Structure 1
Amino acid sequence: MPHLVALYTANLDAVVDMPALCRELADAMLTVRDEEGRQVFPTGGTRVLAYPAPHFAVGDGGAAGRAAGAGKTGLATGDPGEYGFMYLHLRMGRGRSDATQKRAGDAVLAAARARLDPVMATRHIGLTVQVDVGAEVFDAKHSTLHPLFQKT
């Protein structure tokens, strides 16, 4: 059930390779290990989904960024307008330690920053990573993916 959902302002599509970011986030999730060195997220169950928000409002719409100018904000160039924002929500099943949950969040954050930091050098973008552990009321699965990755 490890699902990572990216909700982001659609203006990021022009400056971020979202398919590449999704792959990098999934790959980062697959590297996470628990205290015994076991892979935390099953390969066949790891999913990253990205959804752009075509309609959005962030902060003051970019006014403060434009008013500050490139020199004052530390950005290489002035922000061209409306801010960007990305929310990464990782949902995990129960049973993992707090340390493992933090490792998962750190891995997702590191992968996101590797892709976004160069863009953030020229644009004002907010990034949030949140990890939630579910107390599922109902959890059913049906998949032909898992057999591809089961060891015989």
Structure 2
Amino acid sequence: MPHVVILYTGNLEAQADMGGLCRKLADTMLTVRAEDGAQVFPTGGTRVFAYPAPHHAVADGGAAGMAAGGDGDYGFVYLNLRMGRGRSEAVKKSAGDALLACARAHLQPLFEQRHLGLTVQVDEAPGQVYDAKHSNLHPLFAKH
């Protein structure tokens, strides 16, 4: 952990550069700092995944968009940051604000071309029952 999972309507696939958004979000996560200046999310544990939804229904199906002169082909992007417990409310808000700003900047060209919704949600893992990890990534980023 932490993980960001992006779910998005499949009609954005050709225009959104989700691979680029994944990289930008991961880089943004690595810039988030705690009150003492420490990096909040470990480099080796930061992951971002994006999944298109080939089947979707958004709002009224496009009627209002067509009435407003658009094509009515709505899009939607949902980002969910899931992190382990123990971070302050300020850090959680800072992480959410940073991810929202990053996603808004990346998707701005789409907002100018089509009707689009964007949601960022930050969740904290409540009462984990089991949390096992096996990785050889973390040693790559250990301070020497």
User: What TM-score do you get using the length of structure 2 for normalisation?
Assistant: 0.97
5+ residue gaps, structure 2, are: none
The 2-side partners of 1:107 and 1:43 are apart by: 16
Q: Compute the RMSD of aligned alpha carbons.
A: 0.8
Structure 1 position 81 matched with structure 2 position 72: yes
Structure 1 position 145 matched with structure 2 position 137: yes
- 1:63-121 alpha-carbon deviations (Å, 9 max, x no partner): 1101111xxxxxxxx3x332100110000110000000000001100110011122111
Question: Structure 1 residue 59: deviation in Å?
Answer: 0.8
Amino acid at match of 2:96: G
5+ residue gaps, structure 1, are: 70-77
Structure 1 position 90 matched with structure 2 position 78: no
Amino acid at match of 2:88: S
Query: Pairwise mapping of residues 22-33 of structure 1 onto structure 2 (< 5 A)?
Result: 22-33=22-33
- 1:10-52 alpha-carbon deviations (Å, 9 max, x no partner): 1111211111010000000000000000000000000000000
Query: Pairwise mapping of residues 107-118 of structure 1 onto structure 2 (< 5 A)?
Result: 107-118=98-109
Name the counterpart of 1:75.
none
The 1-side partners of 2:108 and 2:96 are apart by: 17
Percent identical across equivalent pairs?
71
Q: Secondary structure at 1:31's aligned position in 2? A: coil
The 1-side partners of 2:98 and 2:135 are apart by: 26
Number of positions where the alignment pairs a residue of Structure 1 with one of Structure 2? 143
Structure 1 position 127 matched with structure 2 position 118: yes
The 1-side partners of 2:114 and 2:90 are apart by: 33
